[in-house]
Amino acid sequence: MSQTADQKRKLAGDAIALMTQLDVEPSPDNYSVFHTYCAGTKPELKRAVDVLIGSGNAIRQAALDAIRDEHLAPSLEAAIANLGAEMNGTLTGVLEHIARAARDTTAYEKTLSAASGELGGVNSGHDLTKLVGTLLSATQAMEARTKDLETELHRSSKEVEDLKSKLDDVRMESLTDPLTGIRNRKALDLELERAFNNARTHGEPLSLFMCDIDRFKTFNDTWGHQTGDQVLKLVAQCLSENVKGRDTAARFGGEEFAVILPQTELADAVRLANAIRKRVESKKLLKKSTGDILGAITISIGVSQLTEADTVETLVKRADSCLYAAKHGGRNLVMAQTEIPGNRAA
């Protein structure tokens, strides 16, 4: 049943009031989560938000982004299903043309066979001319149908290639953060699982670091969300410029980023983390309209390395703990697992 204008206004007010109560940043993405929550149209999203609220802790932006990506993002499966339907239609057309060609070939073979049988009964030039005319006509028709089939197969082949390209684009889009252009949380999870399994299989080191932009909320509150987006893009650029080859940089959610470093020991990961931290710190955020410097950007980073007892979850959790230690240690710091009490032996 459609809502009245008053019901829509009440729903919008409830969502905004709840965001204010929970001290959640009033961004469009967060509003979409809480509007859906208050509407009750997605029970799984509602349960996920209830868990956050029930924890009694401050709600982290990364957690809200993860809920939005999981429950409100466009479905990759739906896009693939649409492309699959298109490809199925193309292949069905090809099969129909092949079946028709097979029928034509059978008919042509019958014509040739009949003509072969009639040759013994030819008694005059007129009969021979008539028989040759029949064969010539059948052969020309067969050539025309064969040419049509080749044209159709060529066209269908191009359609399949175009659909494959679209499918690759959809997959890449589903794994890319639209704002920063680097990998998103889904891509991070997939790549981390792959890197974890490779490290286990080959006995290689694997390091991970989690990054968080210091005082990001202050940038948003002071200069607005467009400036906040500029900060996110700048940090993502610093990560992508310094992470190469087999390594993966991704936006974890909100103002948090992560970097997966296969075949990398903890000490080397820490050195890279400090190089990126210094690179970000050297950047100055400018107001485009005036050229005024809005302030320096800094990040805090937590670094962990895979141990024999680790799962993917514990590796991430330890890097996250190191990140918060860096935050509490004064920000603009890199903190490794060996510097955290209880992790020295890890």
Nearest to 315 by CA among 273, 260, 269: 260
Specify whether the CB–CB gap between 196 and 253 falls below 8 A: no
Specify the range with the lowest mean pLDDT, choosing from 36-40, 68-72, 79-83, 191-195: 79-83
Rounded Cα–Cα distance for residues 193 and 188 (Å): 8
Catalytic-labelled residue, pool 25, 191, 255, 256:
255
Question: For residue 113, what pLDDT is reported?
Answer: 65
**pLDDT over 90 percentage in the chain:** 37
pLDDT at 2 exceeding the cut of 60: no
* CATH architecture under which domain 185-339 falls: 2-Layer Sandwich (3.30)
pLDDT at 185 exceeding the cut of 60: yes
Question: For residue 9, what pLDDT is reported?
Answer: 83
Listed in sequence order, the DSSP H helices in the chain are 5-21, 28-39, 43-54, 61-71, 76-119, 125-174, 185-202, 216-223, 225-242, 266-281, 312-328
Banded model confidence at residue 4, pLDDT cuts 50, 70, 90: confident
CATH 3.30.70.270 positions along the chain are: 185-339
Specify whether the CB–CB gap between 34 and 46 falls below 8 A: no
Question: For residue 87, what pLDDT is reported?
Answer: 65
Specify the range with the lowest mean pLDDT, choosing from 117-121, 160-164, 255-259, 281-285: 117-121
How do strand 299-305 and strand 334-336 relate by DSSP bridges? Answer: parallel
Specify whether the CB–CB gap between 241 and 276 falls below 8 A: no
Residue 326 main-chain phi, psi, to 5 deg: -65, -40
pLDDT at 258 exceeding the cut of 80: yes
Question: For residue 219, what pLDDT is reported?
Answer: 82
Best CATH choice for the domain 76-174 from the list 1.10.287, 1.10.760, 1.20.1300, 3.30.70: 1.10.287
CATH 1.10.287 positions along the chain are: 76-174
**pLDDT over 70 percentage in the chain:** 73
Mean local confidence (pLDDT), 1-6: 65
Is there a catalytic annotation at residue 255?
yes
Question: For residue 85, what pLDDT is reported?
Answer: 67
Tell me the pLDDT tens digit for each residue of 198-254: 999 999 999 999 999 999 988 888 888 888 888 999 999 999 999 888 999 999 988
Question: For residue 345, what pLDDT is reported?
Answer: 36
Tell me the pLDDT tens digit for each residue of 309-337: 999 999 999 999 999 999 999 999 999 99
Q: For the chain, what is the mean pLDDT?
A: 82
pLDDT at 77 exceeding the cut of 90: no
